[in-house]
Structure 1
Amino acid sequence: MSPTNRKEPQTSGIFYGLGVGPGDPELITLKAARLISQCDVICYLCNDANSDKPGHSQSKDIAQALINERATKAVEIAIPMPYKRDRTAANSAYDQAAEKIRIALQQGQTVVFLCEGDPLFFGSYSYLQERLCDEFTCISVPGISSPNAASAVAGIPLTMQKENYAVLSGRLSDEKILSHLNEFDSLVLMKVGQSRPRLVNLIKTSGRLHETVYVEYATREQQKVIYDISTLSAEAGPYFSLFIVTRQQREQ
């Protein structure tokens, strides 16, 4: 059942999905910072045991200074997440995490889930909200998403005047990506990663190579902005990378 047509929650705990932004801790909203300082339980995704850095959490890293400043230590629920195309293991991890969060909420505790960017924009919070919204009040606190952050660091407006705009997953088929490149004035191609060489070729095929900027780790220490994507190596990119495609000639 979706949050818009769910039953009225019967229990008292509140579950917050907090957008902690793209990486720079100073971009965390005042509301998210307040909830981190006041909540009873802090949840976050972390790398599973099979990763290069088991237990590491990007979202917790962003909020770590605020967590350290708390007057009292919060209970933490780390959710090890296997990053695989097959969603079976991921769904099992969300099921187990939802049960732990449910117990805390049943006790009337305030639980926050830290989510990179915005919690409802490719956000993992959505999967937990879906599992809990029939029983508890679930509130999303928006955060700065990666397209907005990348646009800012590249100094490129995402849309102007009557331009249309689309956000695409880099995992879409070649046909769909080419169709959207031809149809939309502005696009952001997300989830670049392993698809980076393929996406560069598709952008080149569409004739929009000169209208594209590549951004890695927007607002983070390892941030990289490349305005000539023909110089990119024929290798996969990191998970936190995207392409911004905009019209070279824009209305004034």
Structure 2
Amino acid sequence: MISEQVLAPIVENRAVAPDHVELIISSAVLSQAEPGQFAHILTPGMLRRPVSFSRIDQENGQVGLMFQIVGDGTRWLAERRHGEVLDILGPLGHGFAAPDPTKPWCLVGGGVGVPPLYAAAARYLHRSRPDVIIGARTADWVLMAQDFKDLGLDVTVATDDGTAGHAGTVMGPLETWLQDHPDGQVFACGPTPMLAAVSAACEGRATAYVALEQRMGCGIGACLACVVKAHGKEHAEYRRVCTEGPVFAAKELIW
């Protein structure tokens, strides 16, 4: 898929949770994205901000970009309004491949790792129906649970403080799912420690694919700022998250 630099207008700015915003963007180019790919958005300062696609609406030429406000760049982005235009590189990276429809699959997301999994669920729902496990620090920060339910999917919520659903991390519900579906497929996105735990839990059982959250410089593979360690044929290698990822087979990576 060819990536481009596009000037894309904002259709809507949605506050989805405290300090979490989703921008709906109009762009025929970006709407050709695959779930798990990302947009690299120009904000004031030196570096762009990578944000995964939360929604991909090819019919209407729109995409969603959901993020947490964590610094000056994302704060500036959260203040953009309807009609303002963003400078975006995208779609970038490799996304999730379609799941094998003969095997059960589960989506496991933590924090702002949840949105690209919703895009995957919506894209591949016609193949088979995934189970969904969403993790967050607290109930107020649970993202997109209702969106998944609107697709007719079963959603399990886990919160670190126990204010919603399972008290604890996503690993408890995932372990239960793996016991019932040892030959399944797991699509995961979230903080690196969560992805490492998911990878370990799936080893020797389900096939796991993980979308990494990584700081990036250029977003096109030139600066090597986002490399991760992976298994090579003879020795360890380094893979660029922005071009060879963000989605990897979990077994490829050295955690």
- TM superposition score category, shorter chain reference: 0.3 to 0.5
Report the structure, 1 or 2, having the larger strand content.
Answer: 2
RCO comparison, higher one (Cα < 8 Å, 6+): 1
TM-score w.r.t. structure 2 length? 0.33
Greater Rg by CA: 1
